[in-house]
């Protein structure tokens, strides 16, 4: 059936069945109609279909619960649909109070005139549709701006990484060589073993660990910021990557329980399987830090946007990351208050792997309070970004398209 507003419907709740049938027959060509004969039935209908409902009408006087109380409950579940209260002239004061309190979009008096009601409902649905369109446009603008910021950040980190690798790796090589030669030189100098065995064992081990840590940071920076060389292949079972990486990283942490929730018909994706596997391992490492005392990790996988995008969420119940720190987790030199020895290079590498596959990643707090790391990947990244975005500045687009050779050249030209 063709309707004037096919996308969003009208929910009418009334204890008079005649009124409901009359309403449905008159306005079925205006929009999809949902009817309920009691407050509980109406709330259940709204709970199941609230994303498809633009206008709610409720009679004020009904057995068990008033229309005002019902609309209050519905607003708590979803405040977006516009709410009408249907009342008698004698109850207008209560309707006006509810209107002034912001509960109602408007009110109607019984008996309602079909022509007038159609005009008011059409106006309300038109207003609701315009608001949803406005929200969609704002969301698209926000997503585009976020992608622009990701491109800028990726390019900046790439240049920084090239400079750090160029200037620090040689120094680390010297330190590593000196560290490895110390035991042999010491043995030759004193012709025996050192007197303070504990000092040499602990301090020498700490120095070696710090050299390894700095080397690992540089490696993560270098691997994560390579702008070219993705080996894109098809037929990747991403759930298999998630399972294998989880078993590998978390097998030594028996206090961490993890599960993967994914539909059976999840499509295979295309991408650089090696880089994607490394990224997933780093995400599990991040979760393991949050769950040092044990806990649960849930990994959810689904497709969105007509199955063209894969969305993956890592949800853990470990110590909550402060809200103000969530956007900073992907900065390579962000220092955690409770873990000052850990930098953000792992998540930065994840950030850039996702970016170079045409996706996005974010950290947030889930509604149930869990830490959430959520990323999206196009099912086929070869269909993403083939044309230069019209709204991206030319210099920024070129930075995002830097090659490894460009980065090495940029790093060689950086001041010491």
Model confidence pLDDT, tens digit, residues 333-366: 666 555 544 555 678 788 888 888 888 888 999 9
> Which residue from 330, 343, 252 is spatially nearest to 291, judged by alpha carbons?
252
> Which is higher by pLDDT, 165 or 297?
297
Domain boundaries, the chain: 9-112, 150-412
| CB-side neighbour CA atoms (13 Å) of 337 | 8
- Give the lowest-confidence range in 85-89, 145-149, 263-267, 345-349: 145-149
* Residue whose pair of structure tokens reads 């208050």 in the numeric block: 337
Same fold, 9-112 and 150-412: no
Q: What is the pLDDT of residues 242-269, one digit of tens each?
A: 999 999 999 888 899 999 999 999 999 9
Close Cβ partners of 34 (under 8 Å, ≥ 6 residues apart): 9, 10, 11, 12, 45, 49, 53
- Residue 377, pLDDT above cutoff 60: yes
The H helix count followed by the E strand count for the chain is 11, 12
What are residue 246's phi and psi, to 5 degrees?
-65, -45
- Residue 73, pLDDT above cutoff 70: yes
d(CA 343, CA 68): 53
Provide the pLDDT for residue 335: 66
How much is the average pLDDT of 120-138? Answer: 92
Split at pLDDT 50, 70, 90, the class of 175 is confident
Is 150-412 CATH 3.30.565.10? yes
- Residue 270, pLDDT above cutoff 90: yes
Split at pLDDT 50, 70, 90, the class of 27 is very high
Calculate the average pLDDT of the chain: 82
> Which is higher by pLDDT, 208 or 335?
208
- Give the lowest-confidence range in 76-80, 159-163, 339-343, 392-396: 392-396
Q: What percent of the chain has pLDDT over 90?
A: 43
What are residue 44's phi and psi, to 5 degrees?
-65, -40
Neighbouring-strand partners of residue 302: 311
Is 9-112 CATH 3.40.50.2300? yes
- Give the lowest-confidence range in 135-144, 189-198, 376-385: 189-198
Close Cβ partners of 310 (under 8 Å, ≥ 6 residues apart): 238, 266, 267, 269, 301, 302, 303, 376, 377, 378, 379
> pTM for the full model?
0.54
DSSP E strands, 138-293? 233-236, 256-261, 269-271
Split at pLDDT 50, 70, 90, the class of 145 is confident
Provide the pLDDT for residue 117: 93
> Which is higher by pLDDT, 27 or 163?
27
Provide the pLDDT for residue 234: 92
d(CA 71, CA 85): 8
- Residue 389, pLDDT above cutoff 90: no
How much is the average pLDDT of 2-20? Answer: 90
Instruction: Choose from 192-206, 224-238, 363-377 the range with maximum mean pLDDT.
Output: 363-377
Q: Are 95 and 24 in contact (CB under 8 A)?
A: no
Split at pLDDT 50, 70, 90, the class of 228 is low
- Residue 384, pLDDT above cutoff 50: yes
Provide the pLDDT for residue 1: 56
| Residue 304 exposed, middle or buried by CB count within 10 Å (0-12, 13-18, 19+) | exposed
Q: What is the pLDDT of residues 283-328, one digit of tens each?
A: 999 899 889 889 999 999 999 988 999 999 999 999 888 888 887 8
Q: What are the angstrom distances between the C-alpha of 215 and each of 155, 172, 224, 331, 366?
A: 21, 7, 14, 18, 34
d(CA 105, CA 85): 9
- Residue 137, pLDDT above cutoff 60: yes
- Give the lowest-confidence range in 67-76, 133-142, 197-206, 304-313: 197-206
Provide the pLDDT for residue 295: 94
Provide the pLDDT for residue 397: 37
Neighbouring-strand partners of residue 301: 312
Provide the pLDDT for residue 92: 73
């Amino acid at each position: 059936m063709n309707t004037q507003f096919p996308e969003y419907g009208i929910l009418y709740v009334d204890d008079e069945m005649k009124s409901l049938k009359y309403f449905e027959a008159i306005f079925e060509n205006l929009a999809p109609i949902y009817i309920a004969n009691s407050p509980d039935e109406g709330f259940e209908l709204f709970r199941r279909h609230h994303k498809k409902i633009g206008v709610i009408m409720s009679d004020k006087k009904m057995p068990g619960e008033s229309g005002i109380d019902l609309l209050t409950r519905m607003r708590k579940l979803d405040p977006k649909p516009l709410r009408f209260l249907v009342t008698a002239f004698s109850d207008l004061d209560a309707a006006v109070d509810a209107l002034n309190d912001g509960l109602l979009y408007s009110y109607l008096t019984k008996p309602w005139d079909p022509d007038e009601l159609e005009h008011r409902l059409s106006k309300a649905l038109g207003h609701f549709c315009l608001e949803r369109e406005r929200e969609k446009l704002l969301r698209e603008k926000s997503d585009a701006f976020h992608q622009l910021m990701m491109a800028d950040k990726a390019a900046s980190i790439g240049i920084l990484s090239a400079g750090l690798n160029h200037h620090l790796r040689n120094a680390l090589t010297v330190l590593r060589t000196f560290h490895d030669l110390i035991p042999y030189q010491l043995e030759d100098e004193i012709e025996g073993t050192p007197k303070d065995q504990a000092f040499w064992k602990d301090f020498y081990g700490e120095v070696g660990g710090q050299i390894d840590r700095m080397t690992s940071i540089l490696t993560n920076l270098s691997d994560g910021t390579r702008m070219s060389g993705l080996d894109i292949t098809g037929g990747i079972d991403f759930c298999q990557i998630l399972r294998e990486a989880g078993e590998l990283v978390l097998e030594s942490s028996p206090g961490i329980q993890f599960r993967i929730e994914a539909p059976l018909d999840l499509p295979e994706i295309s991408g650089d399987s090696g880089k994607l596997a490394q990224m997933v391992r780093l995400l599990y490492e991040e979760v393991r830090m949050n769950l040092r005392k044990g806990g649960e990790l849930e990994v959810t996988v689904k497709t969105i946007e007509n199955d063209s995008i894969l969305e993956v969420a890592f949800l853990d119940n470990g110590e909550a990351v402060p809200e103000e720190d969530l956007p900073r987790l992907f900065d390579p030199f962000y220092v955690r208050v409770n873990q000052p020895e850990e930098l953000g290079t792992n998540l930065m590498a994840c950030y850039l792997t996702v970016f170079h596959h045409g996706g996005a990643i974010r950290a947030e707090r889930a509604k149930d309070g869990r830490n959430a790391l959520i990323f999206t990947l196009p099912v086929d990244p070869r269909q993403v970004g083939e044309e230069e975005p019209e709204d991206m500045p030319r210099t920024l687009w070129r930075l995002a398209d830097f090659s490894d050779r460009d980065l090495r050249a940029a790093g060689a030209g950086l001041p010491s």
